[in-house]
Amino acid sequence: MTTTTQQTITLHAQCLCRAHSFATPPLPTTSLPLPSSSCHCTSCRHLTGALRSSDAPWPGPANVIHAAADADAEGGGTLRRYVQTEKMNILFCGRCGSPLFCEQLPAEGGGAGAGEPEYLAFTGALSVEGDGPGATLPPVVRCVDHIFVGDTLDGGALPWLRGMDGEGGPAAKVWLGGRDCSEEVPAGARWPAVGALEKGYEAGLKTEGAKGDVSLRCHCRGIDLVLRAGEAQREFEETQRRGGELPWYIDPVTHKGMGSLDGCDSCRLAAGSEVYNWTFAALRHISFAGANKEGFPRDTSQLRIATEAKDGEGRDPRLGTLAFYASSPDVQRYFCGRCSATLFYAVDDRPDIVDVAVGLLDSPDGARAESAISWSFGGAMTWRQDMIGTWREIMLHAVEKDAEEWRVERGYPKHWRRVAREEAEKAGEK
């Protein structure tokens, strides 16, 4: 997967619903890989729902992107523009929520003669013509650094992303803040150290909110909810004590919801980030934030109907900017219609539970929210088949390797679902 007979490739940036697709002119393969950067800051996590955002300079025409975003501003398109900072806008599909580009504004706010905006493509939105099983394309992007890792408190997704480009190239640099203006983590070092993680976890449990409620919000706060994780753990502990059966996603020892590493194409496109991270929760354990918490929909059908309702016509104003895109007849992907943040993945045949985007959680112990999540570190990544046979396969194997090494170093036991799967495979061999 590291060589190609092609001399040029055409790169696309597209959203999940395919309403928007931007293409480069033919690019010489010698210009690849594009340098990408992973940002782990709190802002980017709440903007995407992922544990990091990842972008690379767009080597295609900028004027086409700019025109499409301006058309939406004038009411003639669906490429929304969200102001993340005074220097950066996010361009995303208003129909499916997929973030496509970071629009970097020129100096001094882009006044006359100050230059044109520059565009960075979210790497999860990138695809290559002709990629797939049997192709021999080179890596399209390569991560050169991880920035604002210090915002995560616990390292976030960094433990399984340090070597995500495989072997043979320079290691990505790691900065606790901005590049070249903050402390750099030495090559090969863990941040934070495993011992410090344990102290941080214990400190987190003593803070207000660690008793059970974890904030669940998007960047613009148009979606402001609460995951009642502590209440859920106590409920499932009692269920087990009484001899009842636990849901498939609940850890039988800690009674926390499972956390996963997901490589599926749809999640990648929907959130703009490869290797997405979900946890799972019963809708009855999700509430509105604020004093009046009650009334959040309790099944996926109610949630869909409530979200479809229009303001002033029965829609609960506490749903805020919540929107969804039906990526399949039985699947709804919920996101913020104002800032694009991915929130839930819902399936009709699982009416009581939803997948929850980990990046939107504000847990006192860190971005991984280990006080609320039992992580399935190591083993096979969920939906890994979508990465097999593509230029992202190198990333797949590197992430699985790093996640397993992290599990062992961290002292995590094998995940209960992995143990059950391995035992079933052994039984089948006898």
Nearest by Cα to 336 from 232, 234, 220, 231: 220
pLDDT for 167:
82
Instruction: With respect to residue 153, please indicate whether it lies within any of the assigned structural domains.
Output: no
DSSP state, residue 104: E
Q: Which residues contact 408 (CB under 8 A, 6 or more apart)?
A: 378
C-alpha 64, offset from chain centre: 27
Asked if pLDDT for residue 110 goes beyond 60, the answer is no
Specify whether the CB–CB gap between 385 and 132 falls below 8 A.
no
pLDDT for 115:
76
Nearest by Cα to 363 from 194, 149, 147, 205: 205
Q: What is the spatial distance between Cα 172 and Cα 367, in angstroms, rounded to a whole number?
A: 21
Mean residue pLDDT across the chain: 91
What is the three-class DSSP state of 200? helix
Instruction: With respect to residue 132, please indicate whether it lies within any of the assigned structural domains.
Output: no
Instruction: With respect to residue 219, please indicate whether it lies within any of the assigned structural domains.
Output: yes
DSSP state, residue 245: P
Instruction: With respect to residue 144, please indicate whether it lies within any of the assigned structural domains.
Output: no
**Structural domain containing residue 253:** 194-429
Instruction: With respect to residue 383, please indicate whether it lies within any of the assigned structural domains.
Output: yes
- 67-71, 146-150, 406-410, 414-418 — most confident range: 146-150
Helices marked H in 162-213: 194-205
Asked if pLDDT for residue 127 goes beyond 70, the answer is yes
Radius of gyration, CA atoms only, the chain:
21
pLDDT for 73:
66
Overall domain count for the chain: 1
Among 1-5, 32-36, 313-317, 406-410, the minimum mean pLDDT is found in: 1-5
pLDDT-based confidence at 135, cuts 50/70/90?
low
**Strand arrangement, sheet containing 21-23:** 21-23, 11-14, 126-128
The tokens of 397 are what?
A: 């194997």
Angle between helices 194-205 and 393-410 (to 10 degrees): 70
Pairing mode, strands 34-39 and 141-147: parallel
Q: What is the spatial distance between Cα 135 and Cα 127, in angstroms, rounded to a whole number?
A: 13
Q: CB 241: neighbour CB atoms within 10 A? A: 8
pLDDT for 129:
76
pLDDT 10s digits, 5-26:
568 889 999 999 999 999 999 9
DSSP state, residue 110: T
**Strand arrangement, sheet containing 331-336:** 322-328, 331-336, 342-347, 353-357, 276-282, 257-262, 373-375
pLDDT-based confidence at 136, cuts 50/70/90?
low
Instruction: With respect to residue 169, please indicate whether it lies within any of the assigned structural domains.
Output: no
3-state secondary structure 260-272: EEECCHHHHHHHC
Q: What is the spatial distance between Cα 322 and Cα 333, in angstroms, rounded to a whole number?
A: 10
Amino acid identity of residue 258, one-letter, is: M
Peptide bond before residue 117 is cis, with ω within 30 degrees of 0: no
CATH number, residue 278 = 2.170.150.70
Amino acid identity of residue 158, one-letter, is: L
Instruction: With respect to residue 173, please indicate whether it lies within any of the assigned structural domains.
Output: no
pLDDT-based confidence at 208, cuts 50/70/90?
very low
The tokens of 430 are what?
A: 């006898």
Q: CB 183: neighbour CB atoms within 10 A? A: 12
Torsion (CA) 420, 421, 422, 425 in degrees, nearest 10? 120
Proportion of the chain above pLDDT 70, given as a percent: 91
C-alpha 318, offset from chain centre: 24
Instruction: With respect to residue 230, please indicate whether it lies within any of the assigned structural domains.
Output: yes
- 105-114, 160-169, 263-272 — most confident range: 263-272
